[in-house]
Amino acid sequence: MYRVLIQGITGRQGTFHSSKMIEYGTEVVAGTTPGKGGTEVNGILVYDTVEEACSNHDVDASVIFVPAPFAKDAAMEAISHDLDPVVIITEGVPVLDAIEVVKEAKKKGVTVIGPNTPGLIRPKDRSKLGIMPHHIFAPGKIGIISRSGTLTYEIASTITKGGLGQSTCVGIGGDQIVGTDFTHFLKLFEEDDDTEGVVLIGEIGGDAEERAADFIKRGYEKKVLAFIAGKTAPKGKKMGHAGAIISGDSGYAENKIQALENAGVKVCERPKELIKALRD
């Protein structure tokens, strides 16, 4: 189980979601907000800097609720102290800032999840790093990797109601530049004894799904299903996320579906179809 630092804990989102993380069972050990050191939020001591928090507590991971203009500095501070993962909830982080964060994380060997992510959750461990509504999750054997927070919730709820439950669910983020992709977590799920099958939740824009298909096609040991959103999206229009936009000849849902099916992945038309497909 992660020992978690929350950056931006005194803000509205940080205050609310830290309480929900603690309620679920996450070990939140400290928070930071510059200028608010010495105060408490939900019984958690607040520090001015990550350095101070790490000097006083054993910290493994960070969850960032810092406004977009300051998210880069917060992430860099966490990365510099080798916190892993660094989960950036913040949406709309400037592209150049996100590029710098991802570059530094790769140099240090740190996993960055997001920006614009609902985070990750492990129902078996009662551990949540982010904003996922934990009541819809249940311990099980299905891993979920998603680009969409809302669809994560819908499909996780469907899997729970179907009696299968989840091992780990992670949102890789909906901004144009994110720290991890489907392939990163496919590798982890392949090595995870608690995971028997994986559901990929994709959407229009970018080529993350196609790269995942290429990886699966080389030989993947576990069952993979997929759901792709945005098949009716018009060209050039952003659909919810900064990264969900079709430009030129790339990013179409049809291309992603075809690539996944060519890799042997069943792509379901509706979330409810996943239950039957997972059981087959």
Which secondary structure element, helix H or strand E, spans residue 278, and what is its range? helix 273-279
Rounded Cα gap, residues 179 and 225, in angstroms: 23
Q: How many CA atoms lie within 13 A of 219 on its CB side?
A: 0
CA distances from residue 225 to 152, 195, 228, 271, 278 in whole angstroms, order as listed? 14, 13, 10, 11, 8
Among residues 17, 81, 134, 241, the one annotated as catalytic is 241
Q: Mark whether 241 is an active-site residue.
A: yes
Q: How many CA atoms lie within 13 A of 244 on its CB side?
A: 24
Rounded Cα gap, residues 5 and 28, in angstroms: 6
The residues with which 228 forms a beta bridge, in sequence order, are 202
Radius of gyration for the chain, computed over Cα atoms and rounded to the nearest angstrom: 18
CA distances from residue 231 to 148, 239, 244, 246 in whole angstroms, order as listed? 15, 11, 11, 11
The residues assigned a catalytic role are 241
